[in-house]
Amino acid sequence: MQNLKTASLEVKQNQLWILCQQSLPQQQNWLPAHTVEQLVHHIHTLSVRGAPLIGLSASLLLALLAESGQSPQQLAIALDTLRASRPTAVNLMNNLDQMKLALAEPDIVSALSKEALRLVEEDKQLCERIANAGAALVKPGSRLLTHCNTGGLATAGVGTALGVIQRAFSQGKVNHVWVGETRPLLQGGRLTAWELGELGIPYQLICDSMAASLMGKKQVDAIWVGADRIAANGDVANKIGTYSLAVLAHHHQIPFYVAAPGTTLDTHCPSGDAIPIEQRAAREVMGVAGSFGEVQWAPEHARVYNPAFDVTPAELISGWVLDTGVVTPAQVQAGAFQPK
């Protein structure tokens, strides 16, 4: 396969490398993702994370394994193992469904490689279209709030919600970005803060619990988040804490936008109730770990509830900003996301 590089993925001499998102921003470590076991480990530890990136990394690895001489049977097992590595973000399943079609072609090596590269290129284009469609909704002088990380690190392109913010900033319409730290794994505090700093976009980091008071003080003009899965009725699964922001936005009459590519749509999932929500290890809530070390503050045997995602009901969402354009609540109610 040809060499390629995105913000957090690299294919070099037919091997996949990933930028470890667990040790950012203090360290920029590129880790090998040469085998299914390695990539699944990176996905479990969130060294590879973000809905689009998970799907793209799995697709690239599958194509590279085909090039290395793995048999169709081995590739089919690899595909199923990768597909099961994280349950909530549907981009992984959607991308691997495309790869499965390529696995049925006569020249598997060429078909898988072509498809994986196409998915990467497509993701870049989808991000561009989302950024343009979303930026048109941003009013001049905006102070925007975002959650988790939806930037270049999580995609092959400029990102989704963060791509919108970046595009609107370049159009002179963003005065300030509030970044929710995103407990428990701090994707906002570690990754979004870092990306905004690199882009020169003015931001302030807040604890998740500070969002309500900021909205009460009229310091937030709109909220922009990404998505891991959008159900047919418009309900959205995204990083835990997204739902609280949507409720707060509704109370304070602040627009709440979801930005995502078509690969995040699951038209066969009727509503948020049917979206599988990943439960994660207790230690993530009991303390924190990263390149800075590990600390635990909770009592040794504390009982913990740790869902990685929550579901925001469609009625709290002001607009779904997709690569195909802005979908309004009325369009969602009329069946815009129902299976065709």
Which residues are known to be catalytic?
A: 228
Residue nearer to ligand MRU on the CB measure, 70 or 192: 192
DSSP string for 78-133: HHHHHHTS-SS-HHHHHHHHHHHHHHTSSSHHHHHHHHHHHHHHHHHHHHHHHHHH
Which residues, at least 6 apart from 328, have a Cβ–Cβ distance to it below 8 Å? 319
Phi, psi of 192 (to 5 degrees): -65, -40
By CB under 6 A, tell whether 321 contacts ligand MRU: no
Of the candidates 208, 212, 210, which has an alpha carbon nearest to the alpha carbon of residue 247?
212
Residue nearer to ligand MRU on the CB measure, 91 or 233: 91
For residue 318, give both structure tokens.
Answer: 């002001």
Residue nearer to ligand MRU on the CB measure, 159 or 272: 159
Whether the link from the prior residue into 184 is cis, omega within 30° of 0, is yes
Residue nearer to ligand MRU on the CB measure, 62 or 127: 127
Residue nearer to ligand MRU on the CB measure, 51 or 111: 51
For ligand MRU, the binding residues in 84-143 under the rule CB under 6 A are 89
By CB under 6 A, tell whether 238 contacts ligand MRU: yes
The DSSP code for 66 is H
Question: Per CB under 6 A, which region of 32-40, 48-56, 131-139, 281-289 contacts ligand MRU?
Answer: 48-56
Amino acid identity, residue 308?
A: A
- Per CB under 6 A, the list member of 148, 165, 248, 275 interacting with ligand MRU is 148
- Per CB under 6 A, the list member of 155, 233, 263, 318 interacting with ligand MRU is 155
Residue nearer to ligand MRU on the CB measure, 75 or 161: 161
Cβ at position 73, least distance to ligand MRU in Å: 30
- Per CB under 6 A, the list member of 87, 134, 152, 226 interacting with ligand MRU is 226
The closest residue (CB) to ligand MRU is 226
Sign (positive/negative) of CA torsion 222, 226, 227, 231? positive
The 161-190 site mask, x for binding ligand MRU (CB under 6 A), equals: --------------------------x---
| Cα 201 from Cα 315, distance rounded (Å) | 31
- Per CB under 6 A, the list member of 47, 160, 263, 312 interacting with ligand MRU is 160
By CB under 6 A, tell whether 231 contacts ligand MRU: no
| Cα 63 from Cα 3, distance rounded (Å) | 13
For ligand MRU, the binding residues in 12-41 under the rule CB under 6 A are none
| Count of residues touching ligand MRU (by CB under 6 A) | 19
- What is the pairing mode between strands 222-225 and 256-259? parallel
The DSSP code for 153 is G
Phi, psi of 270 (to 5 degrees): -65, -40
Positions in the binding site for ligand MRU (CB under 6 A): 46, 49-52, 89, 148, 150, 154-155, 159-160, 187, 226-228, 238-239, 308
